[in-house]
Amino acid sequence: MEYKKFTTLFTDVTKTGTKIPKDEYLTTGKNIIIDQGKDSIAGYTDRQKGIFEEVPVIVFGDHTRIVKYIDKPFFLGADGVKVLKSKEKDSNYKYLYYALKAAHIPNTGYNRHFKWLKQININYPDLNEQKNIVDILESLTRIIKVRQKELAFFDKLIKARFVEMFGDPVINSKNLELSTLANLGMLGRGRSKHRPRNDPKLLGGKYPLIQTGEISQSGLYIRNFSNTYSELGLKQSKLWPKDTLCITIAANIASTSILTFNACFPDSVVGFISNEDKVKPVFLHYWFSFFQNIIESQATQVAQKNINLKVLSNLSVIHPPLSLQNEFADFVRQVDKSKFEIIVYLNKTLLNKILSQIGDVIRD
């Protein structure tokens, strides 16, 4: 089994691309814009000058760790994108894409991760074997897309049920009682006092550490974690209890998810501990899903978009009777069981298949 260093296989050609400011993104256009977000295409532009034409390439999200295979000419989105070309003349880019997706890159929050990627060694078989592996994984990907459509249906079903029970929350179409978020529970920012935040002395203990990216990608519940704090890490942070609603206030604005275990998180996340006599965390999670784009559009932007605790505290939330919230939570619980079974299948099947075909991507 032949391994090659990342730096032997890839060259960073990001500087040859042209960046489009986010306020210039179009919803339709002649050319695509690729950024480091989870969407395959961030937006469109009618510009032509400066388009990156030497495709295929692999795009790596320096902050998000998201890997994308791009085979159409494109423009770059915001900062944090790395455009990678192979140094090998006849590389199979789809194989390299799957190999990088299988690599374990530690999640250090809204920091840059390219330095970790550059340290990996990649299993590099001959081109025929690369093609055989890609064919197997492409077949699996088609199956996964079908399952993902099922997940999207479940999400629409829950939001439709929310509107059926509580009306349109944006306009409060059922004229429900309103309350500020601060009156429904306790709000507080996470803590990460020590600098640098990725100091090895802070990590590797028994206390789960949740980052903004994990919250935005978790859906209703946070069931897994990639990093942990040591005793020193806990001392400079805070341990939040199970059932805390985590709300991101930087990078991915107003994404929410509910802790299923006690955990720490940095000051780019706000924790909300609900007054159980007033509001259910499940209800609030889906309430936020209707307002996320609105809140994000009102966020300030210096180095990156963010909102503060005062903005969240003063949000006006519809406040239906607790009995109705409990009924909605029971409905969500039943639907979530089906979603969770599919997610487990997707994660285990894809990861195991990639690793069985490619082998250990990282070698010490």
Full DSSP string of 135-161: HHHHHHHHHHHHHHHHHHHHHHHHHHH
Structure confidence by residue, pLDDT tens digits, 212-271:
888 988 889 999 888 899 999 999 999 999 999 999 988 678 899 999 999 999 999 999
Does residue 212 lie within any of the structural domains? yes
Last residue of a domain, one of 301, 319, 337: 319
Residue 359 confidence (pLDDT) above 70? no
For residue 171, is it within any domain? Answer: no
Residues 106 and 184 in one domain: no
In a domain, residue 168? The reply is no
Query: Phi and psi of 185, rounded to 5°?
Result: 175, -165
Phi-psi region at 159: left, alpha or beta (left = phi > 0; alpha = psi -120 to 50): alpha
Q: Which residues pair with 196 in a beta bridge?
A: none
Q: Is the pLDDT of residue 355 over 70?
A: no
Q: Is residue 119 part of a domain?
A: yes
- 186 and 103 co-located in one domain: no
CB 62 within 8 A of CB 27: no
What range defines the domain where residue 244 resides? 177-319
- The DSSP bridge pattern shows strands 256-259 and 221-222 to be parallel
- The pair of three-digit structure tokens given for residue 122, joined into one six-digit string: 């990649």
Write the pLDDT tens digit of every residue in 152-173.
Answer: 788 889 999 999 999 999 999 9
Are residue 191 and residue 313 in the same domain, yes or no?
yes
Task: Evaluate whether residue 335 is within a structural domain.
Answer: no
Q: How confident is the model at residue 364 (pLDDT cuts 50, 70, 90)?
A: very low
Pair 28, 102 in one domain: yes
List of residues 6+ apart from 129 with CB closer than 8 A: none
Q: Place 29 in a pLDDT band, splitting at 50, 70 and 90.
A: very high
